[in-house]
Amino acid sequence: MVIKILGSGCANCHKLEELARKAVEELGIDATFEKVTEYPEIMAFGIMSTPGLVVDDSVKMSGRVPTYEQVKRLIAEAR
């Protein structure tokens, strides 16, 4: 599984990445993380507000930092 964190490096993006890493660990999923920080690339995913969470090239969420439970559910569903 490839998890991408979209965002130009703001505090919220770091928070989201932390949550996603924790979720992956708890779910026991083998995932690699990528940070997408350039705007043209971020926008190629079709979102306008950061942070964004992309799992295997499908956008799961954008514009807010979800709770840990939400992140876990989004990642578990994508498995």
Partner 1 sequence: MDVFAPLQWIADRITYDLVGLSPESKAGSALDFFLYDVPKVLLLLAVVIFAVAIIRSFFPPERTRKMLSHSRLYAGNVAAALLGIVTPFCSCSAVPLFIGFVESGVPLGVTFSFLVASPMINEVAIILLFGLFGWKIAALYVVSGLFIAITSGIIIGKLGLESWVEEYVYQIRMGDAGELPEQTWPERFTYARGYVAEIVGKVWPYVVVGIGIGAVMHGYIPDDFLVQYAGPNNPFAVPIAVLIGVPLYSNAAGVIPLVSVLTEKGMAMGTVLAFMMAVVGLSLPEAIILRKVLKPKLIAVYFGINAIGIVAIGYLFNAVLH
- Interacting residue ranges for partner 1, rule: CB under 8 A: 8, 10, 12, 39-40, 42-50, 58-67, 70
Q: Give me the least distance between CB of 30 and partner 1, in Å please.
A: 25
Q: Which is nearer to partner 1, 25 or 69 (CB)?
A: 69
- What burial class does residue 18 get, using C-beta atoms within 10 Å of its C-beta: 0-12 exposed, 13-18 middle, 19+ buried? middle
Q: CA triplet 34, 38, 41: central angle to 5 degrees?
A: 75
Q: Give me the least distance between CB of 24 and partner 1, in Å please.
A: 21
Q: Give me the least distance between CB of 44 and partner 1, in Å please.
A: 4
> How many residues are given for the chain?
79
